[in-house]
Amino acid sequence: MNKSDLKLISVLERTGGFASAQELHQILRREGDGIGLTTVYRALQSLVDDKIVDLLRRDDGEAIYRLCGDGHHHHLVCKGCGQTVEIEGGAIENWAKTMAEEFGFREVAHTAEIFGLCSKC
Amino acid sequence: MNKSDLKLISVLERTGGFASAQELHQILRREGDGIGLTTVYRALQSLVDDKIVDLLRRDDGEAIYRLCGDGHHHHLVCKGCGQTVEIEGGAIENWAKTMAEEFGFREVAHTAEIFGLCSKC
DNA sequence: TATGGAAATGATAATCATTTTCATTTGTGA
DNA sequence: TCACAAATGAAAATGATTATCATTTCCATA
């Protein structure tokens, strides 16, 4: 956790919601911070690794970032507008554990996302 | 619906599951078809527009396609050696459907992968 | 305080999927 | 056969992301 990481966290706190690396970079630049795009990408990656921010994808594939809510959760993402709902994955946790056991896997993690069109789109 | 569209559908039927545009192009080339990458992208786009194939995103943002309503499966991947097991996701299908309904989402698709260490690693 | 090495930084170039452009080919109805 | 629209694909353009690498900043220790 270094200075750049903290800057990014600060921007994400203030903006709320999702933002792309390029947008976050522009915001910092606009605020007079001379931070480089490379550093923005590095900081975001490190924050994702530390599970401090979530990384999702916009419809066009661009990566978007947001501060993690607490705890383990999954996402329900609208393909139209990008609106995202954090959901619990109770059934998934069991499924992952069961499948892993069945095939003798240990130290398991899993990913699961649901994509669709929200009621507005 | 033209000749290229049909070629792509045929490949997707044979491979099953997801494949990227680049992969689909390589498969067709390997089979002796001189189809161009541009045409592959165009055909996939038109199939997505017609809701004949689903478009999702891999973790790295690359677009992946699969036939709609395809009986699909999930993967159990070893972080050590890369060995992959195809597994059924019965519990997940229901979970995804339930969650989507709860939040008023339609045309839903989902991704789910489990990562761990296999018995040999 | 000086110093030496490790970590952080950022400009630049490279990568890679995807989209545009545009000239050529193919198919089709008159 | 002719004219014309649709389809095709090579090549260039685009845009996000990653790799390189020289330089700067930290920081512990002498």
Residue-wise pLDDT tens digits, A9-49: 999 999 877 899 999 999 999 999 999 999 999 999 999 99
By CA distance, what is A105's nearest residue in B?
Answer: B118
CB A117 within 8 A of CB A109: no
CB contact under 8 A, A115 and B118: no
Is the minimum distance from the CB of B22 to strand C below 7 Å? yes
The pLDDT mean for chain B works out to: 88
* CB contact burial A55-74 (16+ within 10 A = b; e otherwise): bbbeeeeebbbbbbeeeeeb
CA of A74 to C1' of C21 (A): 42
Is A99 part of the contact surface with chain B (CB cutoff 8 Å)? yes
Q: For strand D, which residues in window 59-98 of chain A come within 7 Å by CB?
A: 62-63
For the beta sheet containing B74-78, the strands, ordered from the edge strand earlier in sequence to the opposite edge, are A84-87, A74-78, A106-117, B106-117, B74-78, B84-87
Instruction: Please tell me whether residue B108 adopts helix, strand or coil conformation.
Output: strand
Chain A CB within 8 Å of residue B117 CB? yes
The 10s digit of each residue's pLDDT in B55-110 is 888 888 999 998 987 667 788 877 666 677 888 877 888 888 999 999 999 888 88
Q: Which secondary-structure segment (H or E) carries B91?
A: helix B90-102
Interacting residues of B35 by C-beta distance below 8 A, sequence separation 6+: B4, B7, B25, B28, B29
Is the model's pTM score more than 0.75?
Answer: yes
Chain B: nearest CA to A24, how far in angstroms?
19
Q: Count Cα atoms within 13 angstroms, Cβ side, for B113.
A: 11
Q: Say which DSSP state A68 is in.
A: P
Best interface-test mutation with B: which of A76, A84, A118, A121 has the largest number of B CBs within 10 A? Answer: A76
pLDDT digits (tens, 9 = 90+) for A56-91: 888 889 999 988 765 677 888 887 777 788 888 778
